[in-house]
């Protein structure tokens, strides 16, 4: 059965009158609306606003340390059981939440987060996907909005950051930015956040598009295979994107004229044109016309000599074309 326009308008009017009746204060209603939550839950957050200011303070004081975030999340879970079931639906029992909370925030792999002793792993999937991945961040953002309207700007900003960490399952801002900038692995992003630092998401995006930085990261010896794979993927993406926008001009190379193929290598932070075996080389500089730095140590790219003795840029890996 279709609902007419008049019926919709009547419903909205009735709902509005009900809200005004239950909350006569206009400023209080504004705070409720800002949360985007069901009215019943928004009212309970407002009533508990001093409690949320209190449990949020440690997040602010420690710049969201891992321990403060885990403690805050546990307190919020306990409060939600009694007050926010319209938002955090079917919240599992405390034992299950305790089994996954710390591992999730620390960026531990999902396989290891899920408790190995249980036969019903689906409940853990629900916690990670629904409760931490959606419901808790929604609730934290709503609390943040109420606290902001009450004048606690710094606390509100801190809660906004905490919400993202809970949603992604990583322990710090840099790990979250790394994840959002392209390394879509919680464990790899967390690992890289101990090495690569930035002040904003935009800065992190720039860092992870910089071929020199990716090359430097790749050469570090104590990286997990998972992180190495992600860095290689970013390097390939960065190089291929830039090369697709730039065709190298043909080059003449008298010093290596006796060879048919030359490649570009980085040795001690200097760029060289080299023979395949590396026995002969000479240093070159990168510039807008010849951005050799984009293809350093990328052996799928080479310069092959044609019949006229001119070296022409060649992409040897067909997947890169």
165-175: pLDDT as tens digits: 999 999 999 99
Q: Which of 153, 171, 189 is the last residue of a domain?
A: 171
Q: Are residues 268 and 230 in the same domain?
A: no
Strand (E) or helix (H) holding 305: strand 301-305
Q: Which of 197, 220, 244 is the last residue of a domain?
A: 244
DSSP summary character for residue 251: B
pLDDT of residue 110: 81
278-313 pLDDT, tens digit each = 888 989 998 878 888 878 887 778 899 998 889 998
Assigned domain for 309 exists: yes
As a whole number, the mean pLDDT across the chain is 85
Task: Tokens 């310069």: give the residue.
Answer: 303
Q: Are residues 10 and 148 in the same domain?
A: yes
85-122 pLDDT, tens digit each = 888 887 888 888 998 999 999 999 888 877 654 556 67
The total number of structural domains in the chain stands at 3
Kindly report which listed range (75-89, 243-257, 296-310) carries the lowest average pLDDT score: 243-257
Q: Are residues 151 and 222 in the same domain?
A: no
Q: Quick check: helix, strand or coil at residue 299?
A: coil
Q: Are residues 21 and 152 in the same domain?
A: yes
Q: Are residues 223 and 293 in the same domain?
A: no
Assigned domain for 108 exists: yes
Q: Are residues 153 and 179 in the same domain?
A: no
Q: Are residues 270 and 197 in the same domain?
A: no
Assigned domain for 249 exists: no
Q: Are residues 118 and 135 in the same domain?
A: yes
Assigned domain for 70 exists: yes
Dist. CA 139–CA 77, nearest whole Å: 10
Q: Are residues 189 and 163 in the same domain?
A: no
Q: Which of 145, 171, 197 is the last residue of a domain?
A: 171
Instruction: Give the domain extent around 292.
Output: 254-320
33-64 pLDDT, tens digit each = 666 777 788 889 988 999 999 999 999 999 99
Residue 24 reports pLDDT greater than 60: no
Question: To the nearest whole percent, how much of the chain has pLDDT over 70?
Answer: 83
Residues 6+ apart with CB under 8 A from 186: 107, 108, 109, 110, 168, 169, 170, 175, 179
Q: Are residues 58 and 203 in the same domain?
A: no
Assigned domain for 140 exists: yes
- Dihedral, CA of residue 228, residue 234, residue 237 and residue 242, to nearest 10: -120
Dist. CA 91–CA 81, nearest whole Å: 7
Buried b (16+ CB within 10 A) or exposed e, 269-307: eebbbbeeeeeebeebeeeeebebbbbbebebbbbebee
Assigned domain for 293 exists: yes
Q: Are residues 310 and 259 in the same domain?
A: yes
pLDDT of residue 172: 97
Residue 250 reports pLDDT greater than 90: no
Q: Are residues 88 and 124 in the same domain?
A: yes
Residue 237 reports pLDDT greater than 80: no
Assigned domain for 279 exists: yes
Assigned domain for 258 exists: yes
């Amino acid at each position: 059965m279709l609902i007419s326009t008049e019926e919709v308008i009547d419903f909205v009017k009735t709902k509005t009158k009900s809200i005004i009746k239950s909350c006569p204060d206009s400023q209080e209603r504004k705070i409720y609306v800002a949360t985007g939550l069901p009215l019943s839950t928004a009212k309970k957050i407002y009533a508990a606003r001093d409690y949320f200011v209190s449990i949020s303070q440690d997040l602010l004081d420690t710049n969201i340390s891992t321990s403060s975030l885990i403690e805050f999340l546990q307190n919020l879970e306990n409060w939600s059981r009694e007050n926010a079931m319209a938002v955090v639906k079917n919240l599992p029992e405390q034992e299950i939440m305790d089994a996954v909370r710390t591992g999730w925030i620390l960026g531990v792999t999902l396989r290891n987060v899920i408790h190995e002793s249980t036969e019903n792993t689906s409940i853990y999937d629900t916690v990670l996907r629904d409760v931490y991945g959606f419901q808790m961040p929604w609730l934290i953002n709503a609390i943040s909005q109420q606290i902001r309207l009450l004048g606690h700007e710094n606390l509100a900003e801190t809660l906004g950051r905490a919400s993202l960490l809970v949603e992604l399952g990583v322990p710090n801002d840099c790990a979250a930015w790394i994840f959002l900038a392209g390394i879509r692995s919680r464990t790899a992003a967390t690992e890289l956040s101990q090495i690569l630092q930035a002040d904003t998401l935009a800065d992190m995006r720039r860092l992870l598009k910089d071929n020199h930085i990716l090359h430097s990261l790749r050469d570090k010896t104590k990286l997990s295979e998972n992180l190495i794979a992600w860095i290689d993927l970013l390097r390939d993406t960065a190089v291929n994107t830039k090369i697709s926008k730039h065709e190298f001009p043909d080059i003449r190379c008298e010093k290596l004229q006796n060879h048919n193929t030359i490649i570009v290598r980085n040795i001690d932070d200097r760029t060289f044109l080299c023979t395949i075996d590396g026995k002969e080389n000479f240093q070159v500089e990168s510039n807008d016309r010849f951005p050799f730095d984009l293809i350093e140590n990328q052996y799928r790219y080479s310069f092959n000599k044609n019949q006229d003795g001119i070296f022409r840029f060649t992409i040897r890996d067909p997947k890169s074309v």
